[in-house]
Amino acid sequence: MRVIIVKNYEEMSKEGAKMVKELVIKKPNCVLGLATGSTPIGLYKELIRMHKEENLDFSQVITFNLDEYYGLSGDHPQSYRYFMDVNLFNEINIKKENTHVPDGKIPLDKIEEYCREYEEMIKKAGGIDLQILGIGGDGHIGFNEPGSSLSSRTRLVALDEQTIRDNSRFFEKIEDVPRFALTMGVGTILEAKEIILLANGVKKAEVVAKAIEGPVTSQITASALQLHPKVTVILDEEAASQLRRKEYYIFAHEAEKKINLKLF
């Protein structure tokens, strides 16, 4: 695991966007796994800037989002489809038909089949080359709440109380937050060829330390990333503040810069 500690949110966003840019240049038809939440907004802003100012070309890029609230249609302002359109897709030259966000309006009796198809589409596209992740207050990735199997696949899940509370800031009132979501599973996420986990702010410090340095446990689904061979964690100083091996991560990152190689 590479752990990169930067000064602030802006640097975290730039560092993440730089990795996406390198991939899009190297493989113009790459498959990106995308996340929502406040964490990746700065990274998306930076990608938009790169597109507008540096002609970064997304015309062949394919994307798959991690999750969607169940019950919200894509034109609902709190849906993750809407979030992606507004915060990224509408501002770059990606083809809308190449962007995939789970459909929150699939009828209950079609969900299993739909989730299987979502996974099939990822496979047909060649698998996810680079997955971007945030981390929930309870340690979730996607909407894989504590207790999710570490080999779980795309499915319908019930949201945890803490997640409903955390995410209620985006809704008018807490009662409006959906109680269910569709999410890629932990097992699905671990199949990505490379993964970036972003976290910022002191509120994430404790859960980040548990995810990176604690035991691998379904109680903190982000800890499953320890099982993946190519994960880069990009943290601002606040989110990194409870890491025990902080000095080593800083040393290792300085060392890899000298030889111009990523050391996982």
Residues marked active site are found at 67, 138, 140, 145
Residues 6+ apart with CB under 8 A from 121: 64, 100
Site for ligand GLP contains 221 (CB under 6 A)? no
* 104 versus 142: smaller Cβ distance to ligand GLP: 142
Provide the mask over 131-160, with x wherever binding to ligand GLP is found by CB under 6 A and - wherever it is not: ---xxx-----xx-----------------
Rounded least distance, CB 34 to ligand GLP, Å: 9
Contact 213, 222 (CB under 8 A): no
Q: Which of 1, 5, 6, 39 binds ligand GLP (CB under 6 A)?
A: 39
Residues 6+ apart with CB under 8 A from 130: 19, 20, 23, 30, 31, 32, 33, 192, 193, 194, 195, 196
* 37 versus 62: smaller Cβ distance to ligand GLP: 37
Rounded least distance, CB 22 to ligand GLP, Å: 23
Rounded least distance, CB 51 to ligand GLP, Å: 22
Rounded least distance, CB 54 to ligand GLP, Å: 26
Strand partners, 2: 232
Q: How far apart are CA 234 and CA 257, in angstroms?
A: 15
The piece of 31-39, 54-62, 99-107, 255-263 that touches ligand GLP (CB under 6 A) is: 31-39
Contact 60, 97 (CB under 8 A): no
Q: Which of 22, 25, 28, 38 binds ligand GLP (CB under 6 A)?
A: 38
For the chain, how many residues are written? Answer: 264
Q: How far apart are CA 40 and CA 37, in angstroms?
A: 7
DSSP summary character for residue 125: T
Contacting residues toward ligand GLP, per CB under 6 A: 35-39, 66-67, 134-136, 142-143, 163, 167
